[in-house]
Structure formats: structure tokens, C-alpha cells
A and B are shown apart, each in its own frame.
Chain A
Amino acid sequence: MATTNAPRRRARAGVLTPIAADAFGEHEARHLLWRAGFGGSPGQIAALAQLGPEGAVAHLLDYEAIDHPWPGAADFDKDIMRPLSAEDLRELRVARQNRNEDVVAKYRSQQMQRQRADRAQIRAMGEWWLGRMIETPRPLEEKMTLFWHGHFATGYRTIENSYHMFLQNQLFRRHAVGNFGELLFAIVRDPAMLRYLNNNASRADDPNENLARELMELFSLGEGNYSEADIKEGARALTGYSFDDDAFVFRPGDHDQGIKRILGESGRLDGDGFVRAILGRRACSAFIAGKMYRFFCREVPTDPREMDADARAAVDDLANTMLRERYEIRPVLRRLLLSEHFYSDAVVGEQIKSPATLVVGAVRSLGTPTRDVATLVAALDAMGQALFQPPSVKGWAGGRSWISTSTLYTRQNTLAYLLTGRKPTGFDLRGAEAYDPKPLARALVGDPKTASARAFGEAVADFVLGPARTDRAVEELSAVGERAGRVTPTVAADMVLLASAMPEYQLC
């Protein structure tokens, strides 16, 4: 056994070998900025390359060093969906008993007004978050917040409380590169999650299994690593985990005090005991490592047995790192982002941009006007990534599932909107500002007027399409300049617009 295993272990240890400092240039910096952020301008890429691998990764990952205001709770109204006071409830109950229709109608209309106001607020939150992704000097903080939102997927339409979605967003941002264990303890206390998976009404005499099931299947262990009995017992452990207004409450009267047996652990387990039993399983770090690998590297099967050898070894290494670091996420990410593997051909240019990465990346890398953020949020919905409304508790599947014949047009049209102000239905007066390609053009070739159409076409293909560029892309982009005779700002803008409509633009 030992002899046959030894070389394999060495190979596994080798897969995440750190990249050599002299192998880290602008191509690598561009890749790092797209994956650990949302892409960047030529100037940002050059500056990152100058830092070398360790410095560049530290700049993105140790982002607390960069000053950026923490989103204030005062930014949003936390009282829109506040439950009725005891007095109001009494008045409503009496009115119902006495069939006092006027009073009942007053409360009904208040409730409808509140729901309308709350729906407006969740839209505003989508715009706020997308705006923050576009503007932040700490892109990895927002990207990891988005990662956890997709992982612990909770949908606004079910919970109908925008402020709870905001609190959950704060939770993800606080733990973005922090400790996964702490996040798991926190998520079984999160009002939005408790409501979304119906745990707030789960009682000892009638446990609701929803949260217990998804906690293991989707949030920590993955299918096949627990039994139906674990779900039933786990649901008992979570009984009484509820919330009152905006805060978690434990209701001892609703909690099942009995002995449970979950994942091999026995005792009078509560929600924390359940979470501890999960964190004690090797499958947990493997599951989270696999999910991070898919998010940052490439599309591989969920089941490690179906992954190719490199992916399996990389995920294994990340899972070991996670265990060694007691579920701290930052060292796991550092190991991945510094690895040779992360910069290998199998990974670079192979990822299909998520809708958020596509939109935010276009503004950040091409320097387009932001135009109307509400339109961009609606575009994310149409591309299948509605913020605060993942399609299900499973989150976003990512990869090729982003792309259909329909979303491909939405992607092309969103880019056309950012670059020209034109929507499929016509020009948008609010976003009529012209795109100025001159800063980008100057950064790429110095003085565009003296550059040949071919040289400029090459430069645009390299920067806009990166490693996904094809020979055809270079030909077509150069031809735009050749037809015009020289590279004017209009020609430069046309080249960027054409590149953005190419199938390969969807890759990063």
C-alpha cells in the first residue's frame, strides 16, 4: 500500500506548486484580475504585474489594507417589513372578530403598500450591489460575497424582506475570505435563510426538514455523504431555531431536547452540534474546495471521481489546506491563486464569464460609461443571474449553463448598450453619453493615429479577448481599421464593439 501510494501523493503535492516570480507577467496578471476580480484596465494589469505573484495576490486577497467604506446599515430602511406591534395586532384581531371591514381594509392596504415599498427597496439593493462591484477597489471582497450568495442561495421572492437580504449580504461580506465554519454557524441563525428554508416554524412535534437537508446536500457535504436518517435527526436538532423581527432567537419550547444521532455523532445535539458534526467530516472541506475550484478555475464535475486527475489533485490539495487551516478560506485562496496550475493552459481563458463578471468586467476593463444601473441589473436577470434571487436554493450552476441561444443575445446586447447607449428597443436617453475609446487606445498602442490597423487590431484582440482570441478575431478587427484607412476613435470604438459580439468574448 505505502509503496504504491507514495508517488501519487508526491504528484498530488506537486499540483499546486507556486508559480515562479519570473513566470508572472502581464498575461498572468490579466488572468488573475479577471478570476479574482472583474478584470481591469491595461494600466491596472501592468501595475499588478509589477508587484510579482506574491504581491499581486496579496493586493487582491489582503484587501483590508485598502480603505473602502463598509456599507452602512443606514443606506436602507430596515423598518419597511417590521412586524405589526402587539397593539396593532390586537386592533386587527378585534376588527376581524367584529367584521369591521374598514379597519381590516386599512391594514390590508398598509400591508400592500409595505410590500410595494419593499420590492422597490430590493431593486435598489441590486443596483447598490452592482454599483459597488463596479466601483470597489477590493474586487475580491465583492466576488467572494457573490460566491457565498450563490452557495447559500436565498431568494427574495420567498422571504419578501429586503432588509433581511441586506443583513445576509453583510454576513457574506464579513466572512468573504474568513472562516467557513463560522459562516456555517452563522447561516443557521440568519433570518433570511431560516425563513427561506422554513425553519422558523419548525417545532419539536413537527420538524421541518428543509434546512437540515440543504445544509448537508448543498451547503457543506454534497449528495451521498449523509443519509435520509441524518436529515430527519438534523431537522430535530434545528427545531426552535427561529427569528424575531431582524434577529435570531432560539425558542427552547419548540426545540427537541432529545438524543439525536447525526453523521455518527450522538447526544442532545442542537443546531451548533449539527454544524460541528458536519465540520468534522472530511467530505465538507472536499465539497467546499471543489466548489471554489469550479468558481475560480474551470468547469469540472462535482463528483471527484469524475474529475480529471489534475482537477482532482488540486481539489484534494485545497481540501487538505482547508483542514490544516481549520476552515480559514484566505490561505486556501492564496494557495490556489499562487499556483502554477491556476496559470496553466487548462485554466486560462477557459471560463465562461458569469453575467456579473461580464457586466462589471466590461465597465472596469473597457472603461465604458456605467449608464443606467437599473438597466444593467435587469440585464443580469435576463442573463440568469438575478441578484438576491438565485433560481433555487441550489444557486447558479455556472459554466456552460450560463449560455443559451437566448442569453447569448442578451450578453451581446448588454455590451452593445454599454458601448453605444443603444438597447434592442432603441436609444436610452438616460444613457446617451458616448463611449470614449481614446484612453484604452492610448494605453494599448501609445498614439493610435500612428499605429497600423493591423497592429491596433492585434492589440485590441489581445486585450479584449485575451487568451481566447482567435486568428479570425484578429483578421476581422484589423479589417475594420483597414477599411477606414486609419485608426480614428470611431474605428477604435467599432473594433471594441465587434470584439464584444464575438463568441470568444464570453470567455475569461
Chain B
Amino acid sequence: MSGPLHNNPSEANAWTRRSFLHTGLALASASVTVPHFLQRSAFAMPTYAPGMASIPGADEDRILVVVQLSGGNDGLNTVIPFRDDGYHRARPTIGLRAADVLELSGPGARDVGLHGALGGLKGLYDDGMMSIVQGVGYPNPNRSHFASMDIWQTADTSGTGDGWLGRYVDHQCCGFGKGESGRAEGAVEAPLAMGAEAPLALTGRSVKPVTFESPELFRWAGVDARKELGDAYDRVTTTGPTADAEPGSAKSFLMRTALDARVASDTIRKAVGVEPLVSYPGTELGRQLSMVASMVRAGMKTRVFYVSHGSFDTHAGQGAGAGQHANLLRQWGDAVRAFYADLKAQGNDSRVLTMSFSEFGRRVGQNASGGTDHGTAAPMFLFGPMVKAGVFGNQPSLSDLDEGDLKYNLDFRSVYANVLDGWLGTDAGAVLGGRFRATKLIKG
């Protein structure tokens, strides 16, 4: 990227984009092929010093981090109705004894406790930074991992269509039907997923998520071997779709992704190259959340981050106070705890709401392999100083079951609705395509 830009006048258009990449100034043409986050200088340098608190009153400083628990987390062994005899009858070997449960205080918490491996989350709960919502699900539950995950990620019980957070970004950027060029006030950046694959939740109609796994792989190494090719590589990766690439074709998609990758690469590598302010557990989730915290600290304007943890598909040998499920829970709780310690040290904790969910809970009764099969309703979790601390909603009955599964009390879209209107400040009805009474979990 260093050296003379280039001297071919016929490439003037590319020149403006390239210098834009260098300086972060809004010199880019308003061509529809340029992603919105580029037009809005998404990956530009921060406008305020990293580590400073947010700009007062500026809505766009609010961030949502989704930590997805993939594979179907066993809700009953996470938030545990340990005073209910029915629980111990249904789970003779994998049920947790009272001694292995962390009791909770505060509203709604009398009859439940956290799994003993969740010391990290217990700390957040005691600090007033954790909200547990009981018995969350949706009508006619689907017990297929993929179908149910699609339902959660699209916020649609048919499991089809765009992702709910992709729709949110679309809505903020142009309003539905306004087309790619009609940017609105309050438009937000493309969401960012940690991992190899972009989750459906972040995939909208016009905005594609940025996905990112590891910094050293996030650039082209060919130029290290052959510096002579640097300018040509810049041209073919920073101009977006060419005239002979049909809109909507795979080729056009690839050209646009190459441009997205290029812009994201420079900014993100710079952000995550900084040591975190606290130490994180040496787990994959810890690594991912530390990078999210670094990107927040660097002042990147991304508002939605997405990470996954799992697999929680514990059909066999899931264990009780210790074992497979306990390990997964510990990794989750410890990483989220470190994440908030880091954000607090940065002065950014009040800007970041974190949400955790799983595609379904598991069956009430354990199976013959010392595990649990796919079930239905389960708790959801919100973290951050802005949440109302406590346990909300009702724990579904362990005796009044639907074919061995819990009956849900609350539609998950009621929680999404509160996140959308109470935190991200958008019209939840328009994004969710229907009215869901928001469950008030966020203060103010």
C-alpha cells in the first residue's frame, strides 16, 4: 500500500477510492458498489481518543454483542430449579445437588440458582450486570438444530428470510425499499462476526457482515513475495464490481466481498494489535471476546458483534457439577466476566450490551446415555450495567410438559424487541415485522 499510488489517468476512479482507503476521508464516489460502511468511513480512525467514554447523547455509541450458545444449551442445568423435587427425579445422575448450585438473591431468584461452574456470571449478577429471562421459546417448537437456529436468527417461525440483525442494519441504513443509495441519518456500520462463517442473523438484504477470524490471515501475503504486484492487487481488490460483472451474480458478489475485506483488514488489524487491559481465559471464546473489546476500544463504529460458543449438543455423558457441560458453562461465564472487566477498564462498559441465547433447551428427563435430547424453552441472558438485574419471567412447570418438554412462557422476540427499541433505539416493529410486547429488561 506504500509507494506512488499510480499514474494511469484512466484509473482515476480507482485512485479516489484508494486514497480514501489511506486517509479515511469521505472521498469515495457514491457509487452503489461501495459498501455503506465505506461511504460513512466506518473504518476511519476514531474521532475521539480510544479509552474515552462515549460522546454524550450519541446513540450510535451503543453496541450489541451476541454470544450464541450453539448446539442447544441445557437451560435446566444452567439456571437450576434445584428446590424442585421433580428436577431431581427427572435427572437422577446429571442433576446438580444443592451444594453444586450458586444461589442467587434478588427479584425472582428465590427458586433457582446458577450452575456451580458459572462463578464468572455469578460475579456479574452480584454486581447488578446480569438479567436472566426464564422460559423463553416460540410457538410449535422445532427440535432440529438448524431449523430452530434459523428461527432464532431470522426472528421468524418459518426460519426463512434475512437475519434479524441484518434487517436492523438495513433498516437503519436506508429504510426498507429505499435502495442502496438512500442513506438515512443514523445509518450504522456492517455488523461483524468472529469466526469463519457469517451467521444468518447478520445477513441482511443490502449489508453483508464482516467476518474475521485471526489477524495474521487477514491480508494478502502474495505482495510480500512479489512487491511489484502491489498496485495491481490494490486495483483489482478495491474497485468493487466491474462493468462486465452482472449485478447479483456470483462474480459481482466476489468483487464486492474483496473490497469489503480490504477495507476491514486495515482497520481491524490495527485495532486488535493492541494488548488488552485485562487478562482473558485462554479459550477460543476468551480470545474472540478480547478482540471484540479491542475493536470497541479502538473506536470502531461497528454496533453489532457476533460470537459463538459450543457445541452444547450434550446427547451423551454431559456430566453434572463437573464434566462436558460444566466446562462449556465455565468457559462462557469466565470469558464474559473478563470481557466486562476489560470494557470497564476502558470506560466503555456502559456502551456494550451482551445477549446470550441457544437455539433450544433440552428435554427435562435425562436419557440412557447420561445426556439430554433436544428440547424447547430455555433461559436467555443479558449482560451489562444497563440491564435490570434479576431473574424475570416464570420458570416453566416441570410437571405440566408437552411430550416431555417444557412449555415456553415468553416469545424470544419480546426480548429482541426490547433490545431493538430499548437499546439500539430503532423501531422494533418494523425490524421484527410484527408487534411483540417488549419485555422491559433494559433500564431507562
A: residues with CB less than 8 A from B are 198, 201-203, 205-206, 208-210, 213, 217, 223, 228, 299, 350-352, 382-384, 391-394, 399-401, 403-410, 412-413, 415-417, 419-425, 468, 470-473, 476, 479-480, 483, 494, 497-498, 500-504, 506-507
* Chain A residues whose CB sits within 8 angstroms of the CB of B254 once the complex forms: 352, 403, 408, 503-504, 506-507
* Chain B residues whose CB sits within 8 angstroms of the CB of A479 once the complex forms: 232
Q: How far does the Cβ of B206 sit from chain A's closest Cβ, in whole Å?
A: 15
20 A-B residue pairs with Cβ-Cβ distance under 8 Å, sorted by A, are A208-B369, A213-B143, A350-B249, A382-B196, A403-B254, A404-B196, A405-B210, A405-B212, A405-B218, A406-B212, A407-B211, A408-B254, A409-B261, A417-B221, A422-B225, A476-B235, A498-B236, A503-B237, A503-B251, A507-B254
Stretch at the interface among B144-152, B329-337, B347-355: B144-152
Q: How far does the Cβ of B127 sit from chain A's closest Cβ, in whole Å?
A: 34
B183 interfacial by beta-carbon distance below 8 Å:
no
B: residues with CB less than 8 A from A are 143-147, 193, 196-198, 209-214, 216-222, 224-226, 228-229, 232-233, 235-237, 239, 242-245, 249-251, 253-255, 257-258, 260-261, 264-265, 315-316, 367-369, 371, 373-374
C-alpha gap A420/B222 in the complex (Å): 8
* Chain A residues whose CB sits within 8 angstroms of the CB of B316 once the complex forms: 198, 201
Question: Which interface residue of B209, B224, B260, B264 has the most chain A CB atoms within 10 A?
Answer: B224
B217 and A405 within 8 A (CB):
no
A416 and B225 within 8 A (CB):
yes
Secondary structure dominating the interface of B: mixed
Q: How far does the Cβ of A384 sit from chain B's closest Cβ, in whole Å?
A: 5
* Chain B residues whose CB sits within 8 angstroms of the CB of A299 once the complex forms: 250
Of the candidates B197, B232, B243, B315, the one whose C-beta lies within 8 Å of that of A198 is: B315
C-alpha gap A209/B403 in the complex (Å): 13
Known contacts A201-B316, A223-B147; A498/B220 CB under 8 A: no
A208 and B373 within 8 A (CB):
yes
B211 and chain A: residue at smallest CB distance: A404
C-alpha gap A448/B368 in the complex (Å): 70
Of the candidates A210, A403, A409, the one whose C-beta lies within 8 Å of that of B219 is: A409
* Chain A residues whose CB sits within 8 angstroms of the CB of B211 once the complex forms: 404-407
* Chain B residues whose CB sits within 8 angstroms of the CB of A202 once the complex forms: 368
* Chain A residues whose CB sits within 8 angstroms of the CB of B197 once the complex forms: 384, 391, 401, 404
* Chain A residues whose CB sits within 8 angstroms of the CB of B146 once the complex forms: 392, 394
* Chain B residues whose CB sits within 8 angstroms of the CB of A483 once the complex forms: 228
* Chain A residues whose CB sits within 8 angstroms of the CB of B265 once the complex forms: 405, 409
C-alpha gap A345/B237 in the complex (Å): 25
C-alpha gap A217/B150 in the complex (Å): 15
Known contacts A350-B250, A471-B244, A479-B232; A424/B198 CB under 8 A: no
* Chain A residues whose CB sits within 8 angstroms of the CB of B235 once the complex forms: 472, 476
C-alpha gap A391/B198 in the complex (Å): 13
* Chain B residues whose CB sits within 8 angstroms of the CB of A198 once the complex forms: 315-316, 369, 371
A400 and chain B: residue at smallest CB distance: B253
Q: How far does the Cβ of A387 sit from chain B's closest Cβ, in whole Å?
A: 15
B221 and A423 within 8 A (CB):
yes
A424 and B229 within 8 A (CB):
no
C-alpha gap A394/B214 in the complex (Å): 25
B226 and A494 within 8 A (CB):
yes
B232 and A406 within 8 A (CB):
no
Known contacts A403-B257, A406-B212, A471-B242; A413/B368 CB under 8 A: no
C-alpha gap A473/B165 in the complex (Å): 36
A413 and B222 within 8 A (CB):
yes
Q: How far does the Cβ of A17 sit from chain B's closest Cβ, in whole Å?
A: 25
C-alpha gap A391/B197 in the complex (Å): 10
B232 and A480 within 8 A (CB):
yes
